[in-house]
Amino acid sequence: MQTTQTANSNAQLSGPPRVQTPKVSVIIPAYKTAHFISNCLDSVFAQTFQDFEAIVVNDGSPDTPELEKVLAPYQAQHNGRLVYLKQENKRAAGARNNAIRNARGEYVAFLDSDDTWMPEHLATQMQLFGADPSLGLTYSDGLVGMPGKERQFTQRCPSHGEATFASLLVERCQIPISTVVARRDAILKAGMFDETLLRCDDYDMWVRTAFHGAKIAYSNKVQARMPVGRPGSLSQSRAKMAEGYLTILEKYKVTLPLQPADREILEKRARQIKAKYFLEEGKSKLEQREFAEARKALAQANEFYRKSSISLTVFGLGIAPGATAALVSFANRLRFGAKA
């Protein structure tokens, strides 16, 4: 296996040098996924399109011995096409940037180490580039969820119309990272992944890629499996995601040379996301029985939503917080079909 040392790393695996320049560099960050990554790699090497290298980036993972044990057999089987990079923990954005800098392919394909591809994924995406050489980035549909509970990504997050800066900004088009194939130059032009972001760095990457001129196309074929889970409360998770989006939108206000029409779209979207953040934060605080904080957040959310149900909840939290929380919980159980 080809091993590339990076700053602050001591890579341990070695193997034959890379000699052939691949068309595609497959980028796979790895952190605590030693028990998943063999399925991931098997799906990569089973692609019908074979002109690629696979770059696995060990992002300071605590399961490094197990990870390297899993990776070692691929060296003999795939003749140095698996590149191994090892670094201190920089989260997924830092791992992807490390791989992009070391990638030799004209194109980069992104795959999380606990996700897998269908055999035709790379072939289908490369056909899109072949049909339209002006494309900078492509993506596709995929299956999301644990086995037995999978559903198509587009059922929850559909793409409508052309994928542009504006449509990505308002999430009219949404991109699952493990289906993306892009020209490496397009990612470099946009500045690569923002390593300062705690979350939503992939959303940020695609929006900036579009802003900097990359033409984007997508396939409606199901081409990946993405088994996601949601640790912690759903409201807390949604609040953190909204906070992440808001951070990115505020960043654009000062870092992108926006035209007036785009700035107007951005400002409207920022108001929506800010209200969503306060709404989900209010729900989370209510679940945690932090009634004063819940009331404050819900009141701020309702400055945008203007809903009577939120107004009543805010009023109730002011006079009978315990009873109000119980009523809200009861209503939610009825809404989602649980037993009351």
- Domain assignment of residue 156, given as a range: 2-226
The reported pTM is 0.88
Domain count, the chain: 2
Whats the size of the chain, residue-wise?
Answer: 340
* 120 shares its domain with 166: yes
Q: Which DSSP state fits 163?
A: B
* 24 shares its domain with 171: yes
As a whole number of angstroms, the distance between CA 42 and CA 306 comes to 51
As a whole number of angstroms, the distance between CA 169 and CA 210 comes to 10
Ranges of residues in the chain whose predicted pLDDT is under 50: 1-12, 14-16, 230-233, 338-340
* 120 shares its domain with 60: yes
CATH code, 203:
3.90.550.10
Tell whether the torsion through CA atoms of 98, 146, 62 and 203 is positive or negative. Answer: positive
Nearest 10 degrees: Cα torsion 27, 29, 33, 37: 10
* 259 shares its domain with 111: no
* 211 shares its domain with 245: no
* 219 shares its domain with 241: no
Among 226, 251, 284, which residue terminates a domain?
A: 226
